[in-house]
Amino acid sequence: MPVGFVNPKEKDLTGAERGIASYFKHPMRKTFQRAGKVLTWLLRQLPKSVPHFTLHKLHNLKTRVHKAANNLTTRYKDNTGIKIFCSDVKQMFTFLTHDGIRRALIWLFAQMRELKQYTVRGGINRTPRKRRKNIVTLVVETGEIYWGQGNHESHLRNIATGSPEDVITFTFDDLMSVVNTDLEYTYSTVGTTILKQKLGCPIGGNLSSFYANLYCAKQEYEFITRPTLNRKDRIHGIRQIDDVILWVAYDTTSKASEIEAEKLLLEVHPNPNQTKTSNSTVYADGLTVKREPIKIYTKNAQRYFQTDFAGMRITGKLKPNQSTDFTCETLNKNWKHLKSTGKQKVAKYPPNISYIHDRIKNGVMIGSMIRMKTQNSTQNLLHKHIARNLYEMKAIGYKQDLLEQTLLKLKKKPGWQHTAKTMLKFVRTVLYA
């Protein structure tokens, strides 16, 4: 059975912790892993006609934020105003009902059966619906997933190693059976005590995060497509597991339109102006929501919002008219502490004095800089946050030679010549001057 242990939360080491169950020795671990890969792939294949807020990859957040302003202004053009709401969805793993999970899975299968196309080897093949079967084929070695007909199976064996063991085919009934098994036997151990979850699944299970994502996607789809309150082309949201940011557009020349937008937010959080945890008609079946703080301020006679979301800081106009009116940038939780004390608050790089080789430190630093390119809307913001990170590296004792060596390696990567050259100049003339 899964073995339970506790991980303290970094932001509150003494007051908060997260219970996790290790499935390392679970007899169905491989089955759960493969079914989880297939189910996640199915969720990602949902077409644009089935809208929901799920963010599958963090590096797509910047693109989604830029699209938000364009999408929100589609309906009301220059008269667009927005209501913004940021929330943390609670109890995604511990209180989500099993019936809610099953209903969401049935919904996913129904949506996939309606598709007029399926994916084979990365391309789109169109085929008459009557010839399609409800199966998904997984090539184990490469991890590629194929949605299509059983007669592709022999072809897939040749792609892998020629061995039938490398190709696994799941029918929708198989996938439902795997999920039912997982939900029926939600056991874990703590020492000699055996626990069984009647709600949710143990955090750490191969399918736990998928259940949460799938259930929320279904609820969001129903929220967006409901026929009341003129919802079409006025709701845009992003959800990264349990963090949600939601914008609702309204017509600034119509008080009734603004009231409709406020009512839409009430469906997500009955007390949108309070930070206390509340029940929600969107995130239901055991889930609750808690409002996160949003900063509203005025600059140059324009009203702006600012909020932290998924490791980034999102800023935008409350009356947007173009995509550049929403921007995002890296959120550095150490920066205020660094400015006031010259020391890190939270360790995030390998220590300067350690047995870790310099090339490993180089790799960590280069990886963090490349990740910043997916987080910052403009080149200036990218340079600002790389400079802050370099300052942080100096604060923990990294020498100038090491930083220069890292930036010279970064300079060799396509598209990084200008940024690396600018940062080298910063290191030589400002940071270590």
**pLDDT the model gives residue 376:** 93
Residue range 137-154: average pLDDT? 51
3-state secondary structure of 273: coil
Residue 352 has pLDDT above 50, yes or no: yes
* pLDDT tens track for 5-33: 888 776 666 666 778 899 999 999 988 98
Predicted TM-score (pTM) of the model is: 0.85
Q: What is the pLDDT of residues 244-271, one digit of tens each?
A: 999 999 999 999 999 999 999 999 988 7
Cβ–Cβ < 8 Å for 84, 242? no
pLDDT for the residue 319: 92
Q: Predicted confidence band at 203 (pLDDT cuts at 50, 70, 90)?
A: confident
**What is residue 202's predicted lDDT score, i.e. its pLDDT?**
87
> Could you read off the pLDDT of 379-428 as tens digits, one per residue?
999 999 999 999 999 999 999 999 999 999 999 999 999 999 999 999 99
Buried b (16+ CB within 10 A) or exposed e, 170-206: bebebbbebbeebbeebebeeeeeeeebeebbbbbbb
In sequence order, the β-bridge partners of residue 188 are 195
Res. 132 pLDDT band, cuts 50 70 90: very low
Could you tell me if 93 and 2 are in contact, meaning their C-beta atoms sit under 8 angstroms apart?
A: no
pLDDT in tens, 56-80: 988 899 999 988 988 999 999 999 9
HEC readout, 243-267: EEEEEEEEECCCHHHHHHHHHHHHH
Which pLDDT score is estimated for 143? 52
Q: Which of 1-15, 112-126, 314-328 has the highest mean pLDDT?
A: 314-328
- Is the pLDDT reported for residue 125 higher than 80? no
Q: In whole angstroms, what is the distance from residue 31 CA to residue 36 CA?
A: 8
